[in-house]
Structure 1
Amino acid sequence: MLAKHAFYYFISHGLPALISFASIAIFTRLLTPEEYGIYALIFAIAGLINAVVFEWLKFSLIRYYPKYKDDSNFLETVKISFLGLVLTSTVVGLIFYLTFEQLSFAYLVLCLVLSWSQSWYGIHLSLLRAQLNPKSYGYLSFSRVALGLALSTSLILVGLNEVGLLIGMIAAFWLTLLVPTLKVWKVRPNVTHLDHNMLKGFVKYGFPLTITFLLTVVIHNSDRLIIEYLMTTSDTGVYSVTYDLTQQTIYTFMMVINLAAFPIAIKALEEKGEEAAYGQVKKNTSLIFLISIPAALGVMILSSNFVHLFLGAEFREQAMMLIPYIAIAAVLRGFKIYCVDIVFHLKQESSLQVIPVVGAAIVNIGLNFLFIPVYGIEGAAIATLVAYALAIVMSWIIVHVKINPLPFPTGDFFKIVLATLIMGLVIWPLRHEVGVATFIYQVGMGAVVYGISIIVVNALGVRGVLKQVYVSKIKGRFHA
């Protein structure tokens, strides 16, 4: 089931990821670093609003769907809670606007509406994940990204620049969500179906996650705000687009595995117990390493061609400098969220997640203020890498002491690292070559060498899997 669902999620995220790469290539050629920097700041603030106000509801939906899926009050409670949070964030936003005169009302509205759009989109995708419905998930993801590219590009070309980019993204969210919202969630909320006991369970489980996710977003986004404060909007734009491009390349693969794997781990816990769930987590971790480690090394080695293809000329020079730090940070971030923190979710010990993330967030902010004046935007990337490394160490210790030794696939990890190094040695001589055809050749060569190396070292018992496929599919058909 994991392989099947991971494949579907790979398709559903792989195609949107290609469109996202095209979006970055287009937007960095149509916008200046300063204009992209304004967009990045609004996006970062919307992300903070999403983390503080809405994210706990999404996590609660995934966690409790197996338990309440047959309860007619469940989805209505989620929907009414979301609407209440929209109203709350509107009131708080207006208070901020009236308190701080320098705030732009247009940018405030864009921040709020973008955060609502992201949140409702995330809630519906979470429902599809909980229902183990990757096909609908993929259709919605692809439609939103493709429509966003078309609308945003059109609005930029008519002269709306970064505002057009934001409006296009928001419109894409709601145009793709319109039919699912009407069909699944209905329009009119029915407050009589609000289950207060269910909501209390959501809050108890989700509130610590809100703090955790907020602090994770602080680690992820605070560097952009501090760069804006200490340097310029153009520097913010260069840093943001490099960060987004590199993270998206690596983190998307890790997210694909988790999208398929987390609901299966929850199902294993509910139906077979903790031992089966931990066994599933160990398999999930192996798969995440199988994809993320070679992706990170490949991006670092081929960074010259990578930025040449996907970034505008004004962004490239500094992007080359940032990519190695961000690539490593992406792997660390994914490992923490999808391999270590998963244990907190399984045991419903979400409050324990707060401790390491608080420490990492404080360190990240402090190092940003310390490093950026000395090293510029490179200092921000270093600070983020250190913060994620610290968060992993602290989380790992807490999991080991308070819950259960982390189900870490030591043997597979070293086999994957060895196969990745072999791949790196092969593509290293190609690192300075650029061009679309060259990039296809570089990636293809790396993938083939890595695949062969994985078979040779027998990571994840792949030889046994291939033998089983041969016997059941190919040899069986031949003899039939």
Structure 2
Amino acid sequence: MNKLKLFIENFLVYGLGGIISKIIPLIMVPIVTRLMPSTDYFGLSDLSNTVVSFASAFAVMGMYDAMYRMFFEKEDDEYKKNICSTAFSFTLCTSVVVFLFLIVFKKQIAQYFFSDTKYAYIVYLSAIATLVGATNSIISAPTRMQNKRKIFLVTNTVSPILSYAISIPMLLAGYYTVALPFAAVVSGATMELAFWIMNKEWFSLRRFDKILLKQLLVIAIPLLPNFLIYWVFNSCDKVMITNMIGIGAAGIYSVGSKLGHASQLIYTAFAGGWQYFAFSTMKEDNQVKSNSMIFEYLGIISFAATAFICVFSYPLFKILFTEQYLSGYIVAPYLFLAPLLQMLFQVACNQFIVVKKTWPNLFILSVGAASNIAINYFLIPVLGIEGASLATLMGYAISDVICVIILYKMKLMVVEKKFIAATLGMILFFVIWRLFIPNNVILGLGLAIIFCSYFTFLYRNDVMKLVKMIKK
């Protein structure tokens, strides 16, 4: 019961903070798209984020997760400060190197990501955003690791509000290409300064420890390819759409992914509380069973939520967006489930990190990412942006299946037959919805209710236990 309470508390508190930082941009998408005269501009802004996410993987180089893992190794504040300081020193150096690389090769990067060298000036802003974001991820970490929940809630509320307070006036003034990237830089720098003031006692260059750095890198370096592969899953499709169809199509896809990524609210809520819970309970006797149960329950929640997104995707797009973005409705359900499959993968593969074996993550994600790219090349010319979204979903599904099988063989995970039955049910629902009723809300709603009832029947004993626990 104490472990359940710990997980729920961190899920709700850190999750709420993460949700606030995600839901404000989500709410602002219809407003921002109406302030931009063309889908190209939204595509450019989102591709700027794509550059930042790619560069940040090299700048952070897995050090955040390694620091988080090592922080809980000992109950010694001096040791913890040495860990934080060493991680910060390393990340500061790598961030500066990546920043300079982006500046020097700005034209080549603009050609690849934006399909035109004339957008090289956007790369400048992306470089600054990478430098700020990478170092801020380390500087803000002690706030989470000390479980300072109120601070986390406040900062995650202020950051997006500040960003849009800057970007909206710029959009009204006609600065369509730089408004969102520039606002992100200013907001990020402000938050980094705030976290530095709060957490500066945890960081000192004099505390840099070569021995600790080696221990951190043992965990961090194998994680770097993982983050690059996550980039392939989450962002490579936009670059491929830009080069294979056009930047306008990338803008429509980006809007579709924003609504689809409403599931990021669930994923962010999970991630916010998961790390603290996972590593603080990793030495429990029944850890494997607990981790497996969380995997299954989150999977069922993900399937049920996706079913209703399928139903309401078209009417939501019809209401929220102009006609030029309407075709993006079809990608939303695929891209809603994809981050949730990523969430399930992280729950499962956390078992590898617990036993200090991070290399299987790389192998498993590599297979999924390679599948994603291959399916993209095949489906984008045939199905357009829907093909890209389907490729992303299938890539994550392949990674999840491989991960579960390996962990099951290693006796680090338990999989119930009812979860396999639920998964097959979700696949059947997707096929029926897409082939026969993608725009029919009434029939779609009836189908979603039937399948959710099916999930409830499979997990009826678990539901009864949950009801009894709530009553108590």
Tell me the TM-score normalised to structure 2 length: 0.84
Aligned pair partner of 1:406 in 413, 417, 426:
413
1:50 matched to 2:56: yes
Q: 1:263 to 1:183 in 2, by over 3 A?
A: closer
Q: Deviations over 1:251-302 (max 9, x none)?
A: 32133123213322211224x3xx4322331232244225322221111111
1:172 is matched with which residue?
Answer: 187
Is the CA contact (8 Å cut-off) linking 1:50 and 1:115 kept in structure 2?
Answer: yes
Q: For 1:419-434, list aligned pairs within 5 A.
A: none
Q: 1:98 to 1:378 in 2, by over 3 A?
A: closer
* Aligned-residue offset at 1:464: 3.3
- Find the aligned partners of 1:54 and 1:407 in 2 and give their Cα distance: 33
Aligned pair partner of 1:308 in 300, 303, 318:
318
Is the CA contact (8 Å cut-off) linking 2:19 and 2:268 kept in structure 1?
Answer: no
1:295 matched to 2:295: no
* Aligned-residue offset at 1:57: 1.3
1:127 is matched with which residue?
Answer: 142
Q: 1:190 to 1:411 in 2, by over 3 A?
A: same
1:439 is matched with which residue?
Answer: none
Aligned pair partner of 2:66 in 60, 64, 89:
60
Q: Deviations over 1:356-410 (max 9, x none)?
A: 2222222222222222222222221222222222222332333334x43423355
Letter in 2 for 1:16: S
Q: Deviations over 1:53-75 (max 9, x none)?
A: 21401111211111256123222
Deviates more, 1:25-34 or 1:304-313: 304-313
Deviates more, 1:67-76 or 1:26-35: 67-76
- Find the aligned partners of 1:450 and 1:99 in 2 and give their Cα distance: 49
1:33 is matched with which residue?
Answer: 39
Is the CA contact (8 Å cut-off) linking 1:254 and 1:291 kept in structure 2?
Answer: no
1:136 is matched with which residue?
Answer: 151
Number of residue-to-residue matches in the alignment: 448
2:344 is matched with which residue?
Answer: 335
- Find the aligned partners of 2:375 and 2:301 in 1 and give their Cα distance: 30
1:461 is matched with which residue?
Answer: 462
Letter in 2 for 1:171: V
Q: 1:366 to 1:451 in 2, by over 3 A?
A: closer
2:17 is matched with which residue?
Answer: 12
* Aligned-residue offset at 1:455: 7.8
- Find the aligned partners of 1:264 and 1:398 in 2 and give their Cα distance: 23
SS in 2 for 1:252: helix
2:171 is matched with which residue?
Answer: 156
Q: 1:262 to 1:410 in 2, by over 3 A?
A: farther
Aligned pair partner of 2:378 in 356, 370, 390:
370
* Aligned-residue offset at 1:414: 5.7
Is the CA contact (8 Å cut-off) linking 1:293 and 1:417 kept in structure 2?
Answer: no
* Aligned-residue offset at 1:234: 0.3
1:284 is matched with which residue?
Answer: 294
Deviates more, 1:339-348 or 1:283-292: 283-292
- Find the aligned partners of 1:256 and 1:160 in 2 and give their Cα distance: 33
- Find the aligned partners of 2:375 and 2:108 in 1 and give their Cα distance: 30
1:221 matched to 2:229: no
SS in 2 for 1:288: helix
Letter in 2 for 1:268: T
- Find the aligned partners of 2:148 and 2:428 in 1 and give their Cα distance: 36
Q: 1:10 to 1:420 in 2, by over 3 A?
A: farther
* Aligned-residue offset at 1:163: 0.3
Is the CA contact (8 Å cut-off) linking 1:156 and 1:164 kept in structure 2?
Answer: yes
1:478 is matched with which residue?
Answer: none
- Find the aligned partners of 2:219 and 2:201 in 1 and give their Cα distance: 26
Mark the runs of 5 or more structure 1 residues left unpaired by the alignment: 435-441, 473-480
Q: 1:191 to 1:329 in 2, by over 3 A?
A: closer
Deviates more, 1:411-420 or 1:57-66: 411-420
1:387 matched to 2:395: yes
Q: Deviations over 1:197-243 (max 9, x none)?
A: 11111111011110111012112211111111111110011112211
Mark the runs of 5 or more structure 2 residues left unpaired by the alignment: 1-5, 112-116
Q: 1:463 to 1:394 in 2, by over 3 A?
A: closer
SS in 1 for 2:415: coil
Is the CA contact (8 Å cut-off) linking 1:53 and 1:89 kept in structure 2?
Answer: yes
- Find the aligned partners of 2:459 and 2:373 in 1 and give their Cα distance: 42
Aligned pair partner of 2:226 in 183, 208, 212:
212
Deviates more, 1:381-390 or 1:26-35: 381-390
SS in 2 for 1:162: coil
Deviates more, 1:213-222 or 1:302-311: 302-311
Is the CA contact (8 Å cut-off) linking 1:285 and 1:409 kept in structure 2?
Answer: no
- Find the aligned partners of 1:179 and 1:325 in 2 and give their Cα distance: 37
Q: Deviations over 1:168-211 (max 9, x none)?
A: 12211222332221221369x74321011111111110111101
Is the CA contact (8 Å cut-off) linking 1:242 and 1:323 kept in structure 2?
Answer: yes
- Find the aligned partners of 2:43 and 2:87 in 1 and give their Cα distance: 34
Q: 1:315 to 1:121 in 2, by over 3 A?
A: farther
Deviates more, 1:210-219 or 1:129-138: 129-138
- Find the aligned partners of 2:428 and 2:13 in 1 and give their Cα distance: 29
Is the CA contact (8 Å cut-off) linking 1:419 and 1:453 kept in structure 2?
Answer: no
Q: Deviations over 1:99-121 (max 9, x none)?
A: 78947542221111122233234
SS in 2 for 1:80: helix
* Aligned-residue offset at 1:457: 6.7
- Find the aligned partners of 2:15 and 2:416 in 1 and give their Cα distance: 22
1:438 is matched with which residue?
Answer: none
1:263 matched to 2:276: yes
- Find the aligned partners of 1:339 and 1:209 in 2 and give their Cα distance: 15
Aligned pair partner of 1:147 in 135, 151, 162:
162
Q: 1:122 to 1:414 in 2, by over 3 A?
A: farther
1:80 is matched with which residue?
Answer: 89
Coordinate RMSD, CA, aligned:
3.4
How many percent identity over aligned positions?
A: 17
Q: 1:132 to 1:455 in 2, by over 3 A?
A: farther
